[in-house]
Amino acid sequence: MSDFPDKLLLPDIPNLHRIDVYEQHGGYAAIRKALAMTTDAVIDEVKKSNLKGRGGAGFPTGLKWTFMPKQTSKPKYLCANGDEGEPGTFKDRQIFELNPHQFIEGCLIASYAMGVRATYVYIRGEYVKWINILQHAIDEAYAKNYIGNKICGTNFSTDVYIVRGAGAYICGEESSLMNSIEGDRGYPRVKPPFPAQVGLWGCPTTINNIETLTNIPVIMNRGGDWYSKIGSSKHPGTLLYGISGHVNKPGVYELPTGVLLTDLIHKHAGGIHGGKKIKAVIPGGSSTMWLRGDELEGVRMDADSLKAAGTSIGTAGVIVMDEDTDVLKVLARITHFYHHESCGQCTPCREGCGWMEKILKRFMSVDGNIEDIDLLLNVANNIEGNTVCALGDAAAWPVQSVIKKFREEFEKRIGKIPAENKYIPPPHLVAKSG
């Protein structure tokens, strides 16, 4: 790792948000380099890097760009997803605040590679401070002809616009995001057709995460092969890990993929308050499966390692809970969030999220019974995989994993259970929830 800097997205350079400082440190050299290449060569360089999307799905970015049709009579669009509504996730706003021009440059390179006429940066409306910072950076880039007509004296022209969200978590889902930009209700669309064929206003559209696009200038400057050797081989590059909860130094840490989860917690985030033990960790934002404190040894923060551990990288929003945490209280709060944020389009999610919250409230008031554990798991299982978008899965997975990992916490809420009445889950439930 000594050949590679830890920080590719958020280097420690004062005032990097200013365009003159960004240019002094090599800013906008990558777009000039890209404009001298063919569009296919730019896409090939991104494919060589093996950059995976940083929004949670982890789809290969270069491959995604190839889905955009080369020949079409319609304008093509890029959507940069900065909605960032996932509880426990707060990385994109760091880019907007500390390094907005690298993100803008990434949008420009992506637009050139795919022949995009305009980029729409969708940002959650609560991010007023960061929206203003990004808009100022966009204005600076327009003034220097990095955005607009005949960029850098070439025949390539493109525009960048900011669209403010209205506080709906569902609009972080790509098709709901597009509906919101169009001025419609944030309902997910049934696929196919996919956005690359029928996206914004019925035109070809690619949706990328803010962090994903911010990696692009680094790849263009240093090469895809160089980038592919940073961190985990199958999930390369650096990640912005947002860590919160019962740690001494919560915040955003940029580190190579594959860092040990225990190192992230103890070495970088300063360990646990009061030297207490870890009870649970949510490794990728509130929608990902939980890990018990005794499962963390050897777990690395990359897609494959976390998948092997029974969870996922998600948005790399790590939430740490100490030994005194009431995990049912945390789960009830998360479930309330998903019930509130469900768009209501799909019956399993609309009704199921409400039922999960009701059942958890019974446990919180010590009114639950042994059958309610089965009922709660059954409801979660009937939501998972039965909705148009992944919000239903996001609501079901925390419930499934907490029942699996912390069943004793539910049992404590219903009083002492005689040994002969201890629950043995039916095989079909174990298979589904495991």
Mean pLDDT across the chain, nearest whole number?
93
- Angle subtended at Cα 198 by Cα 194 and Cα 204, rounded to the nearest 5 degrees: 105
Domain limits, CATH 3.40.50.11540, in the chain: 19-228
Tokens representing residue 192 in the block: 């196919």
d(CA 49, CA 333): 39
> What percent of the chain clears pLDDT 90, i.e. is strictly above it?
90
Q: β-strands 118-123, 159-164: how paired?
A: parallel
pLDDT at 432 over 80: no
As a CATH number, domain 19-228 is 3.40.50.11540
pTM: 0.92
pLDDT at 245 over 80: yes
pLDDT band at 430 (very low <50, low <70, confident <90, very high): low
- pLDDT value of position 366: 83
DSSP secondary structure, 25-69, as one string: TTTTHHHHHHHTS-HHHHHHHHHHHTPBPTTSS--BHHHHHHTS-
Domain limits, CATH 3.10.20.600, in the chain: 231-322
Domain limits, CATH 1.20.1440.230, in the chain: 327-433
pLDDT at 411 over 80: yes
Report the candidate in 74, 76, 82 with the shortest Cα–Cα distance to residue 104: 82
Which sign, positive or negative, has the C-alpha torsion 100, 101, 106, 107?
Answer: positive
- pLDDT value of position 428: 62
As a CATH number, domain 231-322 is 3.10.20.600
Element housing 231 (H / E):
strand 231-232
Residue with tokens 């860092």: 259
DSSP secondary structure, 240-276, as one string: EEEEEESBSS-EEEEEETT-BHHHIIIIIS--BGGGP
Instruction: Out of 73-77, 262-266, 361-365, pick the least confident.
Output: 361-365
Using one digit for the tens of pLDDT, what is the confidence trace for 247-262?
Answer: 999 999 999 999 999 9
pLDDT band at 58 (very low <50, low <70, confident <90, very high): confident
Average confidence (pLDDT) over 47-66: 94
Alpha-carbon distances of 125 from 84, 130, 187, 191, 225, rounded to whole Å: 10, 10, 18, 27, 38
One-letter amino acid of 278: I
3-state SS assignment for residue 81: strand
CB contact set of 404 (below 8 Å; sequence gap of 6+): 433, 434
Average confidence (pLDDT) over 113-141: 96
pLDDT at 418 over 50: no
Q: Are 196 and 35 in contact (CB under 8 A)?
A: no
- pLDDT value of position 413: 87
Q: What backbone phi and psi angles, to 5 degrees, belong to 274?
A: 65, 15
Residue with tokens 């033990």: 277
Q: Are 116 and 206 in contact (CB under 8 A)?
A: yes
pLDDT at 2 over 50: no
Q: Are 106 and 214 in contact (CB under 8 A)?
A: yes
| Topology (CATH level 3) of domain 327-433 | de novo design (two linked rop proteins) (1.20.1440)
Average confidence (pLDDT) over 345-372: 93
Count of residues making up the chain: 434
